[in-house]
Amino acid sequence: MKYAFHPEAEDEFLQAIEYYEGCEASLGYDFAVEVYSVIERTMAYPKTWPIIEESIRRSLVRRFPYGILYAEADETLFIVAVMHLHRDPDYWKHRVQ
């Protein structure tokens, strides 16, 4: 299985890395490592995480208040959002058509 980011999800991810790096040196790196770790686990066990809406599932990031929202399609994990868990929970829905 491989993975791909929705363009807006990739932007969210990069902005979060920048934010955490601005808070403390190497914290952005730590965040990126945690997110990639979640992606790896999710690719290995894509059906483990709960469905939050239709075919969208959410896996949680350790140490940081983020969730990875994804769907499976043709052996690809499509990442719809790298969502801060204190943000409006519906902001990403326009990304799924």
Tell me whether residue 50 is in a domain: yes
Nearest to 64 by CA among 6, 22, 17, 11: 17
* 97, pLDDT greater than 90: no
Q: Please count the structural domains in the chain.
A: 1
- Segment 17-26 mean pLDDT: 97
Domain containing residue 43? 2-85
Nearest to 83 by CA among 11, 1, 2: 11
Check which CATH number belongs to the domain holding 28 and give it. Answer: 3.30.2310.20
pLDDT tens-digit map of 37-92: 999 999 999 999 999 999 999 999 999 999 999 999 889 999 999 999 999 999 99
Q: Are 93 and 55 in contact (CB under 8 A)?
A: no
Say if pTM beats, i.e. exceeds, 0.95.
no
Tell me whether residue 33 is in a domain: yes
- Segment 2-15 mean pLDDT: 97
* 93, pLDDT greater than 90: yes
